[in-house]
Structure formats: structure tokens, C-alpha cells
Amino acid sequence: MAGALRRALGAAAFMALTLVAATQAAAPEVHLSITKGFGEKVTIAVPLFRGTAGAAAPADMRSVLSSDLRYSGYFNVVENLAFVDDVEADDRRTGRVQFREWLALGAEVLVRGDVAVRGEDLVLEAQVFDLGAGRSIFSRRYASQPAQWRATVHELADDIVRHLTGERGIARTKIAFVSNVTGTKEIYVMDYDGENGRRLTKDGLAALYPSWFGDNSAVAYTRFRNSGQEGVAIDVRTGVVRRLTSFPGLNAFISVSPKGNELAMTLSRDGNPEIYRLRSDGSEPRRLTYGSSTESSPCWSPDGRRLAFVSDRSGSPQIYVMSAAGGSEERLTYQGSYNTSPSWSPKGDLIAYTARVEGVYQICTVDVDTKKVVQLTTGAGNKEDPSWAPDGRHIVYSVRSKGKTDLYVLDIHDLTQVRLTSGAGDHESPAWLH
């Protein structure tokens, strides 16, 4: 991630103030004069960015930053924008941050932005202050193509999260998913906030179950071809599709290993749906499960040493884990008679899955060690296919309601839900890019 950050920033970023460079070198770099208890949020003021930047309206930039900060789960954003902009005007007029005025608004942190177009670049200079301590937390200059202004604002949001919490932000992550908006199911990719959606596949036949390759360059999925299924991978930039598997029967639920060098998937080539482990090009399939029941939907643990999967060996589909080398199988779920679609959290402690509860599919987690189950969603509408964000705090999943399926994101700490997709067509089977 550090490499991607540096690449995205380009040379300009390294000309930032020495102070910032020194701050960034120290780790962990959690700056806050206020100590927050678990679940308590920091209140942050986001005044209108100053300046003009062509296509990127300062008001839109503020709006994206504010929603990024709320989305992260760590912040409340001061809502009275008229008051915020008044104090900002005082700051500008006096040339100093009016710490007491900001504190009077209830703000604990202030983020200030100046935007301008310099040459071909959109330049955003951001300063972030700890208002209680009366000092700067960090300042940084971001340069990008004007059309990339959203990505620039997302990067600032991730920097704020990192400096104030020590956690990695998710504002620049992407989500792959399936949509039937063209009349056929195809794979799409969008930003983590539902923006910049674009179609990836053009198979014209159902494309299902996307899974990201670890280096983020490609998405693996299942498609139908020549009276059979194929496991394929599509290059995100070029759109070139390469075939991974075309075994007889199932070629489904590809899960790419954390290092990206191996796949786990479900094949029925031996006459029964079983879990197999393959090289990342689909070669050298090695069978991991044996039995006459259905073994399906493998999902790697973040350390790559175990796999979660679904088996109906008990008479109903339940969540199990096993060694990624095969063996050491252990049942995790005992509540209910229909538990499917496991997704292993990036922190390794929880597995999210779909559970049928009183006739409705809900998202639950099970603790891998204690087997404690927590039901995260309630109410009508079938929720399916959970996928974790890299922060281990957010889960994206689909909700079927009133004959239409859309994607939602849940913050597992405060259980707030945000809808990501709308408009024509169904949107389902999300996979969060790690």
C-alpha cells in the first residue's frame, strides 16, 4: 500500500514540508490531544476549500471529504456549515486559526484546504489541526490531474484517518460486483462510495462471483461458455480475458490467495462439488476435501494458512474451516439450518456469512476461535454475499427488496448502513478490493 501511495502521489508530494516528512517517518503516528473510548467519534470541521480548480468545485470536494470522514466510522463532521464557514472566514482574515472559536463549535479537529490549478495539475494543499492542543497535526500538498479530484480528496481522507487513528483508511479502495443492467449479468467495478462505476466484462453471458487478484490488476470470475462453466481472469486496465479453468462441471467461487499466487475454488470434476487449490494460472488442481456431501465457496484466511468453506455434510449448509493444505476441518456454525457465503475478515478473527434467520437471509459473523455468532442485520429483505473492506470494520453485501437488489455497506461497530447502488438493474455479489 505504501508503494501505491507513493506512485499515486508522484514526485510533487516529496517536496512537502520537512515537518511532514518527519511526522510520517515516526510510527505509529496517532495524534490527538483527546483520548477517545471505543466507539466514540472525533468531531471534525470541514470548511469550504478555498480557490478554484476548474472541473473540481470546492463545494464538491468538501462534500466528498465530509462523506469519506463519516464513512470511515471515526468522525462526526460539524453539520452547521454556515457557522463553519464564518469561523473559516475569521481564520483567513486574521491569518491565524481561531482555536477557541472552533472549539466553541464543538470541533476537535479542523481540516483546511486550498485548491488551485497549476499548469496541468490540480493542486490541493491541506492542513489538519488538533484544536484542543492548538497545533498542526499534518499538512500536505497533493497534485493530480483535475479529472482525478475525487481520488485526491479520498487520499486526504485516508491521511486524516491514518494520522488520527493509526488505522489504514479505505477511501481509495474499489468494489467489484455483478450487475444485470444490460440485461445480462456482467462484472463492474466502482469506487468504495459507489462512484465511478464502470463495466469490466463484455461476455454477453452470465458473469458471476468476482474475486480480486492480490495485486489488484485483475478480477477472477465464472462465466458460461460451450455448454460449461469457465474460471477466467480479466485484466482491469486492458480488459483482456485469460482462461484459468475449464473443467467439466462447476468452475465456481474462485478465491484468490492473499499473496495472489494461488486459487481456491469449487470443482465437480471428480463427480461431486469439492474444494480444490490451484496455481494462480489455474494449473495443478489439488483436491482438498473428500466426501459425498457438497463442499463449496472457499475463502482464504488473511494469513493464507486456512480456508473457510460451506459444507452440507451435517444435512444443512454450514460454515467450516480447514487447513489450506487440506485436513483439520472444523465446523464453526451451529445456529440455524442455512449458513453460506463465508468471507474471512482481514484481521483474521471473524468470518462474515449469510444466515437464514426466520425465513430471511441476514449477515452474521462468527468468531473463528470462540464460535460466538453475532447477527449484524435485521428486518425484511434478503441480505447476501458479505465481503469485508480492508479496514476490517466495513462489510459490503447485497439486499433484495421490492424485487430489486442493491449493494449496502455496514459499519460493524455502530451498525450504520449506507446504500451504495441505485438505478436500473440488480447489483449483487460484491468483492471488496484489498
Report the nearest approach of another protein to the CB of residue 315 (Å): 10
The strands making up 382-388's β-sheet, listed across from edge to edge, are 382-388, 394-401, 404-411, 417-419
Name which of 16 and 206 has its Cβ closer to another protein.
206
Report the nearest approach of another protein to the CB of residue 211 (Å): 12
Integer angstrom CA distances of residue 253 from 337, 338, 431:
21, 18, 12
Report the nearest approach of another protein to the CB of residue 353 (Å): 10
Interface ranges with another protein (CB under 8 A): 185, 206, 208-209, 224, 226-229, 246-250, 252-253, 266, 268-273, 287, 290, 292, 294, 296-297, 310, 316-317, 338, 340-341, 354, 361, 384-385, 428-429
Report the nearest approach of another protein to the CB of residue 261 (Å): 21
Name which of 61 and 275 has its Cβ closer to another protein.
275
Name which of 76 and 323 has its Cβ closer to another protein.
323
Name which of 184 and 417 has its Cβ closer to another protein.
184
Report the nearest approach of another protein to the CB of residue 385 (Å): 6
Tell me which residue of 178, 160, 177, 179 sits closest to 169, measured CA to CA. 160
Residue 349 C-alpha cell reads as 478473527
Integer angstrom CA distances of residue 111 from 142, 183, 375, 381:
14, 44, 36, 39
Report the nearest approach of another protein to the CB of residue 98 (Å): 54
Kindly state the greatest CA–CA separation across the chain.
77
Report the nearest approach of another protein to the CB of residue 271 (Å): 4
Name which of 193 and 426 has its Cβ closer to another protein.
426
Exposure string for 62-87, b = 16+ CB within 10 A, e = fewer: bebbbbbbbbbbbbebbeebebbeeb
Name which of 173 and 429 has its Cβ closer to another protein.
429
Name which of 114 and 270 has its Cβ closer to another protein.
270
Name which of 316 and 378 has its Cβ closer to another protein.
316
Name which of 126 and 299 has its Cβ closer to another protein.
299
Residue 274 C-alpha cell reads as 469439492
Name which of 180 and 261 has its Cβ closer to another protein.
180
Report the nearest approach of another protein to the CB of residue 244 (Å): 14
Report the nearest approach of another protein to the CB of residue 40 (Å): 36
Distance CA 80, CA 61 (A): 17
Report the nearest approach of another protein to the CB of residue 355 (Å): 10
Q: Are 223 and 230 in contact (CB under 8 A)?
A: yes
Name which of 316 and 416 has its Cβ closer to another protein.
316
Report the nearest approach of another protein to the CB of residue 207 (Å): 11
Q: Using alpha carbons only, give the angle 189, 256, 311 rounded to the nearest 5 degrees.
A: 110
Burial zone of 94 (CB within 10 Å; 0-12 exposed, 13-18 middle, 19+ buried): exposed
**Omega of the bond leading into 210 within 30 degrees of 0 (cis):** no
Burial zone of 128 (CB within 10 Å; 0-12 exposed, 13-18 middle, 19+ buried): buried
